[in-house]
Amino acid sequence: MLECVPNISEGCDEEFISALGRVISAVPDVCLRHIDSGKTANRTVYTFVGNPQAVVDAAFAMYEFAAAHMDMRTHKGTHPRAGIVDVCPLIPLNGLTMAEANEYALQLAQKVSEKLQIPVYLYEASARADYRTRLEQIRAGEYEGWAQKIRLPEWKPDFGKAVFNEKTGITVIGARKFLLAYNVNLTTNNVEIARKIAREIRELRKQGILPSVKAIGWYIEDFAVVQVSTNITDFEQTSLYTVFRTVKELAAHYDCTVCGSEVIGLLPRAALQQAGEEILRENPQLQQSPVQTAIRVLGLNALKSFDEGFIL
């Protein structure tokens, strides 16, 4: 199986969001598992899985529909972005190798650039240069900066011409490990506190204390909550609970604390099991299973009901 978790730069138009979900679901042998939209971020994350070739076909159908109905020239939102389909990762599941997932990523990248004239950059396991392996390296400058950035020789697209498409922007495609999009809620209305904590987390990463963690701070108007939003690129290195506990410790310096958290998209059971076991080692008096302990202590039901059907 192959998983695809594209991030689309539209989180407000519910009719479009639903229509794009139907485009993905219409491809045989593909299961659309989750749609998560944010109006403030103006961004929607789709999660679908299935037969690898079918997933690639669904991803291209998604790009085609987005290119026909979206225009980046009018996009505004709090989340960093560089194109209509900002990033389209492909994640190998159930025995599929990373090398095989990369072949599917290259197939999709070539088709998107040739058929839709969208410049494509490869990242993570598909990257062809160290300085453009991580998403934040490629996305630096965001959509507004890419008209000039694409002209630089070192930023020639991996697929497609070095010509900026104002309507679609650029896109990033690649095979990668399972990533946890994990957001921790703060008991404050001051978004600057979240941004300061995110900077401190990034410093801890540089020091090797929180490897595999990226962080930004933002205010989510949809839930009226300030969050430290993180991406955990390797939960075996840095667990959900480690991030939760670290944010809580840093928040105390600003006279606030945490009030639950959320995971966007599918979640490996191993990640919850790992977090729960860490919590139980610190709190042996708790009587629940590790998975249920993690759900409760991390407050995964704080903003909306946590659907255990999304646990892989």
Q: How far is 266 from 312, CA to CA, in rounded Å?
A: 7
Q: How far is 254 from 260, CA to CA, in rounded Å?
A: 17
265 closest CA partner among 61, 47, 59, 58: 47
Q: Are 310 and 266 in contact (CB under 8 A)?
A: yes
Known catalytic residues? 79
Q: How far is 16 from 3, CA to CA, in rounded Å?
A: 22
Q: How far is 247 from 201, CA to CA, in rounded Å?
A: 8
Q: How far is 172 from 186, CA to CA, in rounded Å?
A: 31
Q: How many CB atoms lie within 10 A of CB 129?
A: 12
And the tokens for 161?
């011409």
| Separation of CA 156 from chain center | 24
